Structure 1
């Protein structure tokens, strides 16, 4: 949920005129914590919603990348007919090298089923990108070549950059981090506000999950759709916020530091043949991975056979090592249940020298890896894509309804006409009890440190609010003729 309770003003409902003997009941004031949450939800919703719109639209586009890849690059990625017996990797690599004589051979992913074999070459001028040559595993015919980014096609890479940084590099990553830093705050805050309204209002909890459409039109009907849709989306939105923050620029670094402190990173498999521990993380990277530019193609068949005997089934990637080190073979099956086991193989002895199974990873490492795959729409295949698309579309609807509520609550009298509704009343922070401040300030400060863009923007909201309050105070102290 991104915007609820946008004005905080009570609704008026038609009713009978009170008799002379009837005393009007005074309007109940909201508790200071609730009033503060309403005002924070309002400002955050209005100002952060544009970032969420961009994230939702670009994320929605990314959900169709598997179908887009098949449409654009089907000739390279897939074989016209799957055979029963694949050619040797040596033959396929030789064919790929003949069509691409430049660069270092840094990885081979043998074709499985109707997928082509991917032979990856690194060149210094490509930076962290590679040239991938696609070979029919059953005929050893080269099907084409693409410039890839860790296995992603050009179209997928373009949409991934659009979603992460709007093609603005490190600068652009700030937008997605702001969106992820506030998405969970808006979702949880919206749930609390809607629960309080349903708990005390007519209908009680009945319409927490079902919109109350008793009002034919107006802000009540809009709010019903906005809030109940947000409640349905809340689990998914919290998941997207959490997983998105894990690889954001600043919050992601803090998350990584936390994993290091807890020793919860993905374990690294040792490629040293003398039993020395491995250095670096468990993820290899083509751009900087050690490899041999003159690796014997025949060795790939030997290493693959050893890995298969060791139990690594399904799609795998073979990464050659420097002379005197082991090669690594890693499962690359991203569908549930995932295959992420990894072995190091001595290419000369034809034996496994080290092993790293997904089952042995720390729990946080497992959850992080699975969360990333689900965030990218890969973990559950088409079902995952559909769920992500529904989340994106639902979030867009919630935001539109939020802005519509803001507009519907605008003053329409000729002497008070305004383009949008007024923000909720200020003063809730000053009304908080001391114990709430004693607990809340350290918690918010800790969150601001862990999520820097949350802290910076929250401080910005406070500054804006103070400035607007001072301006409103001056206008009140020196009323214009029309105000007096």
Structure 2
């Protein structure tokens, strides 16, 4: 449902170009060409996404020496653990501490480093029982993913090409839902034709046509599997756009204007623990805060209702700012409450509770975590892997249909002919143009790529007409109909 439909003239009851009228021919042409051109981007995004979902367990095994230690009856204070990490002179500025979330796990002491990329921090792992340092690695983001998963995440997000590479994933997310809904419309139209002939029922929407052979069998497998995957495609497209460069900015502005933004914790002092810019080398304190106070800050936060196992204690960014203690447990039930604690008095000066988030902010939090495969643990992982493999299969089936009946010289098979927009009724044409404008404003990369396709298609149509006027006998019939 996400890539190509059959690009050729089809028998009665099939959704091919011959005999298509109204909206159907227009949707078919859009579904076919968009799937053909965007399919590779969706395929890469899906394959790298499946790899990302599978990495947590692999990461736990590869980095076991840093992450796991023998369980001991006694534990060192957090302050002692931080001092042990600072003594290794990792470079950068002491930024935050993540106490061991369970027996046998290590404490993470995080340092900002101007030599690292945005959202990356140098992490020193400390045995909470002995105070010994077990290793040092670079971690990324709130999830604290380690180098293996960080590399796969960047591969999924930008093909390791940096900011310009994010255009590939935004292009895939922008078109995925369009191609999916277009494919569903074509599949339903085909089912209605079969039902009118007494050859199908509603359940055939979700299963391949029994007894079909050849290209028709591939088509029905493509359509049925796409129907099963439709909800997942819409969900991943919507959540994926929240991370994108251009559509993501539009989404953020829209959420802010409607009051749907995630509440921000006020730590005072004009600073924030999200600022990982460089500074002086790590000392026993940062921003005027004594590291020795970290244990009492955690105790105050626990008394204030910060009860998740996984928390991050961020040191004040500058003199006068507050400590912040934030829950970072993204699995269900979500725990992301946060409090700001005055460094001098120990009073809670601000707090943000997930229960008080706007509904849309909660949905955004859950959507992103489910997209990453962390919301429901291993169940979430299995669902995403199954979906990813199904989507890859659907894409391959779509390209197989195109390859078997692709337009070539000297053989049958033609691309979906031009002129579908002119054949559509005025209401259909108006709705199509209005939808393209609205979606193009919301997702600029979709609009730009659509305009580019129309421009190239128009040039190819003019070239085909010129060749026909010159008497070229090899011009395909499909090329004679301009857009």
Normalised by the length of structure 1, the TM-score is: 0.89
1:67 pairs with one of 53, 57, 60: 57
1:312 maps to 306
**Is contact 1:108–1:318 with CA below 8 Å preserved after alignment?**
yes
2:293 maps to 299
**CA–CA distance in 2 between the matches of 1:269 and 1:177?**
30
- What are the equivalent positions in structure 2 for 1:204-219 lying under 5 Å apart? 204-215=201-212, 217-219=213-215
- What are the equivalent positions in structure 2 for 1:273-422 lying under 5 Å apart? 284-285=273-274, 287-288=276-277, 292=286, 295-313=289-307, 314-321=309-316, 322-410=318-406, 416-417=410-411, 421-422=413-414
**CA–CA distance in 1 between the matches of 2:429 and 2:81?**
67
**Is contact 1:312–1:341 with CA below 8 Å preserved after alignment?**
yes
1:90 maps to 79
**Is contact 2:289–2:343 with CA below 8 Å preserved after alignment?**
no
Gaps of 5+ in 1: 14-26
Where 2:422 maps in the other structure, the secondary structure is coil
1:460 maps to 452
RMSD: 2.4
Give yes or no for the alignment of 1:159 onto 2:156.
no
Change (3 A) 1:426 1:480: closer
Where 2:145 maps in the other structure, the secondary structure is coil
Q: How much does 1:428 deviate?
A: 1.7
Where 1:311 maps in the other structure, the secondary structure is coil
- What are the equivalent positions in structure 2 for 1:4-19 lying under 5 Å apart? 4-7=4-7, 9-11=9-11
**CA–CA distance in 2 between the matches of 1:258 and 1:481?**
54
**Is contact 2:10–2:18 with CA below 8 Å preserved after alignment?**
no
**CA–CA distance in 1 between the matches of 2:90 and 2:220?**
63
Q: How much does 1:474 deviate?
A: 2.9
Change (3 A) 1:464 1:205: farther
Change (3 A) 1:480 1:122: closer
Change (3 A) 1:84 1:232: farther
2:471 pairs with one of 444, 461, 479: 479
2:221 pairs with one of 215, 225, 228: 225
**Is contact 1:104–1:293 with CA below 8 Å preserved after alignment?**
no
Gaps of 5+ in 2: 280-284, 477-483
**CA–CA distance in 2 between the matches of 1:36 and 1:411?**
19
1:37 maps to 27
Where 2:163 maps in the other structure, the secondary structure is coil
2:128 maps to 137
Change (3 A) 1:354 1:411: closer
Where 1:317 maps in the other structure, the secondary structure is strand
2:106 maps to 116
Q: How much does 1:4 deviate?
A: 4.7
Give the total of aligned pairs. Answer: 458
**CA–CA distance in 1 between the matches of 2:72 and 2:303?**
22
Q: How much does 1:480 deviate?
A: 4.1
Change (3 A) 1:60 1:332: same
Where 1:267 maps in the other structure, the secondary structure is coil
**CA–CA distance in 2 between the matches of 1:120 and 1:408?**
55
Q: How much does 1:427 deviate?
A: 1.6
Normalised by the length of structure 2, the TM-score is: 0.89
